[in-house]
Amino acid sequence: MIGIMCAMVEELEPILEYMHIKEKKEHANNTYYIAEFNGKNIVLAYSKIGKVNASITATVMIEKFGVDVLLFSGVAGGIDEDLKIGDLITATHVCQHDVDLTVFGYKHGFIPESEIYFDCNANLINLAKKVADEMGIKLKTGIIASGDQFIHSKEKKEWIKEVFGASAIEMEGGAVGCVCWNEQVPFFMLRAISDTAEEGAGVDFDEFLEESSKVSAKFLVNMLKEIK
């Protein structure tokens, strides 16, 4: 079973348009769509914003619905200067930029018995590169950092880049990566850039959310066609 997650309904709706929805199931205050696409069984959901909600949804997908590979699609704020609104990035690793136990001598982002960075699946990343080549579009790879904050500050953005080496930022991926690392489930994250995470980012986000979500959705669907 393939799981597809988004954070917001605006990110999920353009993916659902490609799916044959067979059933809807309510669980843990959320709706899960049981679907079929290109002969593959899929469960889809939007988690709602933030790391806690994303963790709940990812865990439910794996433990209740039997997902054995999890794909995340949505939007993010760009950190790297070469990332423009509408560009696509797939994560090589994800992390949590708002975890701070440095008073105890740990590095930013580290929790004991866990990791700072959670690896995304190399085979799925390579498949995404192949799909990007076939579509003739640019696909950047890099670290994506997550936190329960909407970043709209140049100073904060530069701090996250300096400390974590991140290329983009959002609010769910690090948590989903942590769940998949613990559950030993392959994980893939795709994000379309909706803003540049500086002053005025909220305006850009609202304006470009729908279009960026469609860009990410179309690419993910083309990936689904290639997954064996």
Catalytic residues: 11, 195
Residues in the chain: 228
Q: Residue 182, SS3?
A: helix
Q: How far apart are CA 175 and CA 40, in angstroms?
A: 26
Which residues lie across from 30 on neighbouring strands?
Answer: 27
* CB contact at 8 A, 226 and 131: yes
Residue where the block lists tokens 């954070």: 7
Q: How far apart are CA 203 and CA 194, in angstroms?
A: 10
Cβ atoms within 10 Å, residue 160: 25
* CB contact at 8 A, 119 and 93: yes
